[in-house]
Chains A and B, each alone.
Chain A
Amino acid sequence: MTETQTTPSTMQVPPPPVVRAALGATVPVAKEAPPITIELRDVSAFYGKKLAVSGVSMSIRAHSVTALIGPSGCGKSTLIRTINRMHEFAPGARVEGSIIVDGVNIYGPGIDPARVRQRIGMVFQKPNPFPTMSIADNVAAGLRFMGIRSKSELRDRVESALKRAALWDEVKNDLKKPGIAISGGQQQRLCIARAIAVEPDIVLMDEPCSALDPIATLKIEDLMRELARDYTIVTVTHNMQQAARVSDQTAFMLMDPGDLAGHLVEYGPTSDIFTNPKDSRTEDYISGRFG
């Protein structure tokens, strides 16, 4: 790994945190099964006839944070949404290729997208707690879909999810209040709690901080690092400092002027991408020359 390498001062990017990839193997927090990797094989995503993401292949490391970066419109959101089959929720949307999670192609025959989404949680750009549900019910929503009915089990799992999302102390006396009665940063942590309450293997985050102030952003970033101990995190960001701060691996995407679809340009350890990019387009982007 490259975590010991010093960042050249010219880059002005903070050095990446100690890469935790190794932790996934050495710290088996509540998970005995081997860590789950995600393997994208030649994934293309369409909106109707329009090709939005073309032929992405990459292997995402378990129990680490992988960041997707790239200019606006290059297909980051589209790609991340293929990983939990949310892409097909858009009318006319379609995916080609395969994504192997835990040895199973989630686009294979007989796969129930609802089950896929239970194991692969998602946090959206804008916090979207359910306004008609209380804070506790927001967190319990996914558990109820899993068929958990026992009040005490629901209560325990809500509490533990809120604790892991670093929100428990702030809301423990207001669990009955509606999910939108808290600040934006708290709402986003509530959405994270909601996503991890069902004990997914993977949590996808599409620009989770872009609607938040800097302090709330730092809290979410800390949380992402923390969660990477137990979960595989894939996040989209167009803030390069953020990618450098939180991620272990970085994937750089770009829209190809030829087919106007997003392609994966370069993918590797975050420190390599930021200090020693192989592709000149990556270098142009991270040094702020375009995008």
Chain B
Amino acid sequence: MTTRDLSRPRRPSSLQNRLQLGDWTFRTLTGLAGLVAMAVIVGAFYELGSQAWPAIKHGGISVLWDTSWNPGRQEFGVGVFVIGTLITSMFALVAATIIAVLVSLFLVEVAPGYISRPVSYLIELLAAIPSVVYGLWGIFVMGVFVRDHFGPVVVSTFGWIPIFDGTPLITGLFSACVILTVMILPTVMAVSRDVIAAVPRSQREGLMALGATRWEMIRLTVLPYARSGVMGAAILGLARAVGETLAVTLVIGNSVRIPDNIFSPAYTMASVIANQFPEATGLHQSALIEVALILLAITFIINIVARLLVWKVTGGHRAVVQE
């Protein structure tokens, strides 16, 4: 018995070798994948940068805040598009996140299963509807409603505040904000519902057993627990909002003018590329590629800022665990 056991010293070392080999393969594969991802991003920046170079040389850095875009006169200020993109996507981000959290809380904490299950399923289905459908709905249903009903009421009630004093049309900044909100809502909602549902039962019960009301329980355990996940969901939605092209192009009005009220027609970066690229040549084309480059940079920055934000929020959590 003993001698046989002693005569197998190679066993552990061969096992060790195999683990190391697996480890090496895994690390190499994931490392390669990471490199490919980096290469794609760097390549995209480089390709766009080189094609945009003539326009960058022509306009310099000031195009970023310059608001006159007039290809005929070789003026390529992108300020209007940047503003349009930022306003619409920020509005959508905030509105969709608030609605998503409220609906998720209702579905997870309040609604009985026979309501929450079908509703959750419907929400997931909404995420699969193509942009053009949203865009057409935006024009023929929502836009008309904004022009005929919602807009006039807002103007007559809040018209004394400058940003609400405008002429409601079918298309415009407000319509674009709403359509973007509706479009990113399913994604944000689906993720935040899962995150809220994943809050441990033991935490909920711990608070309820102390005599908390349902709302206190939500405020003190569900929301803190779900916070980082909900922010992740919001980032997903934001990424889609910033890049969304078709539906926004249909409803935003496409006007190169700084919007001065919520009903003004406006323009986004993605829309101007979609609208003008097919006919653009020379410097105009290069300027549109510059817009794409800026859009890419903005997406990049938003992602980094958002990630830092999540870190900051969850950082509290992590420090909590380690301390």
Q: Give the B-binding residues of A (Cβ under 8 A).
A: 84, 86, 89, 91, 114-115, 117-118, 121-122, 124, 126, 128-133, 141-142, 145-146, 177-178, 180-181, 191, 194-195, 198
Contacts and interface: CB of A to CB of B under 8 A. Distances in A.
Contact of B208 (A86, A131, A178): A86
Contacts of B321: 131, 178, 180-181
B317 A130 contact: no
A181 B212 CA distance: 24
Given A86-B208, A130-B220, A198-B211, A180 B320 contact: yes
A181 B220 CA distance: 18
B278 to A, nearest CB: 53
A117 B320 contact: no
What 4 A-B pairs have minimum CB-CB distances, sorted nearest first? A118-B211, A142-B210, A122-B209, A178-B320
B224 A194 contact: no
Interface in B197-230: 200, 202-213, 216, 220-221, 224-225
A244 to B, nearest CB: 27
A118 B320 CA distance: 28
B205 A86 contact: yes
A76 B262 CA distance: 61
B214 to A, nearest CB: 9
Contacts of B224: 132
Contacts of A130: 203, 206-207, 220-221
B5 interface: no
Contacts of A126: 202
Contacts of B206: 124, 128-130, 191
Nearest to B323: A181
Contacts of B221: 130, 132
Contacts of B213: 114, 145
A141 B206 CA distance: 10
A128 B208 CA distance: 12
Given A128-B202, A131-B317, A181-B323, A117 B209 contact: yes
B320 A131 contact: yes
A181 B320 CA distance: 7
Contacts of B210: 117-118, 121, 141-142, 145, 194-195, 198
Given A124-B202, A130-B221, A132-B224, A89 B320 contact: no
A2 to B, nearest CB: 34
A89 B205 contact: yes
B118 interface: no
Contact of A89 (B113, B208, B225, B316): B208
Contacts of A128: 200, 202-203, 205-206
A131 B226 CA distance: 13
5 contacts: A89-B205, A126-B202, A142-B211, A195-B209, A195-B210
A124 B206 CA distance: 8
A175 to B, nearest CB: 13
Nearest to B200: A128
B225 A145 contact: no
A128 B202 CA distance: 6
B189 to A, nearest CB: 21
A173 B23 CA distance: 43
Contacts of A117: 208-211
B287 to A, nearest CB: 49
Interface in B269-323: 316-317, 320-321, 323
Contacts of A141: 207, 210, 212, 220
Contacts of B204: 89
A145 B204 CA distance: 15
A146 B317 contact: no
A92 B317 CA distance: 34
Contacts of A89: 204-205, 208
A141 B213 CA distance: 12
A132 B211 contact: no
Q: Which of A124, A129, A130, A146 has the most CB of B within 10 A?
A: A130
Contacts of B203: 128, 130
